[in-house]
Amino acid sequence: KKIRKIDTLVLTHPDPDHLKGLNFIASNFAIGQFWDNGFFTDSETFLKLETTLLAKKTSWLFINEQSPPQTIDGVQISFFNPPLRMLSQSGSRSSSILNNHSLVMKLQFRNVSFLLPGDVEKEAEERMVKGEHSLKADLLKVPHHGSHSSSTVSFLERVKPAYAIVSVGDRNIGRLPHPEVLKRYQEIGARIFRTDQNGAITVMTDGEKIEVRTFR
């Protein structure tokens, strides 16, 4: 499709499985803005990405739940996580801390909404459920690749997605998505799509209906 520019490149949190590949994108495409949750790591991969973005003078925004909504081509983007008060900005952190500070976005286009929660786990899900945000969404990118530590019942009851998209590698080490998590989505009647079974997944909407295409 001869795409040469990405309006907004988003890093939900600097875990390797979300970070790797972004430096290639940042190096080979024009990037309008870069959004992340404000967490820095001293990993070689993150430092390379930082160097590329700074060299290209890319606009870099740190996002948290109090960041004002953004609108891109008619799509309103609201932010539900991370909390404003973070932990230390440097040094090593546990995977759980990084996950629970994932940037969480809700995309609304006319009457259709998508919720993209990164790798949030139970702690962050419960905090959002207790908050004032409207979590209801037509499509949910399944948190933390379908890990048992996420997709709590209370969270799914608030989101009530018609579609659930699981991003997970074939024959992955963690054997994700977890069977219990899949059962939770089945019980709420969500249509489940998985990258390990369906290949690349593209979601399109005109603001009224949703079309999911898979490429194996």
Mean pLDDT of 63-80: 96
pLDDT by residue (tens digit) across 118-129? 999 999 999 999
- 155 neighbors 190 (Cβ within 8 angstroms): no
pLDDT by residue (tens digit) across 118-163? 999 999 999 999 998 999 999 999 999 999 999 999 999 999 999 9
- Does residue 2 sit in the same domain as residue 69? no
Under the banding of pLDDT at 50, 70 and 90, the label for residue 17 is confident
pLDDT for residue 174:
67
Residue 198 pLDDT exceeds 60? yes
Residue 170 pLDDT exceeds 90? no
- Does residue 206 sit in the same domain as residue 115? yes
**Residues β-bridged to residue 83:** none
Pairing of strands 59-62, 30-36: parallel
- Does residue 38 sit in the same domain as residue 89? no
- Does residue 87 sit in the same domain as residue 19? no
Sign of CA dihedral 159, 65, 49, 27: positive
Under the banding of pLDDT at 50, 70 and 90, the label for residue 86 is low
- Does residue 81 sit in the same domain as residue 47? no
Domain that holds residue 184: 65-215
Question: Structural domain tally of the chain?
Answer: 2
- Does residue 13 sit in the same domain as residue 119? no
| Both structure tokens of 196 | 């390990």
| Both structure tokens of 113 | 């909404």
The CATH number that applies at residue 119 is 3.60.15.10
CA 32, 29, 196 angle in degrees (round to 5)? 105
Strands (E), 16-134: 30-36, 59-62, 70-72, 75-81, 104-109, 112-116
> Which has the minimum average pLDDT: 54-58, 97-101, 181-185, 186-190?
97-101
Share of the chain above pLDDT 70, in %: 95
- Does residue 72 sit in the same domain as residue 45? no
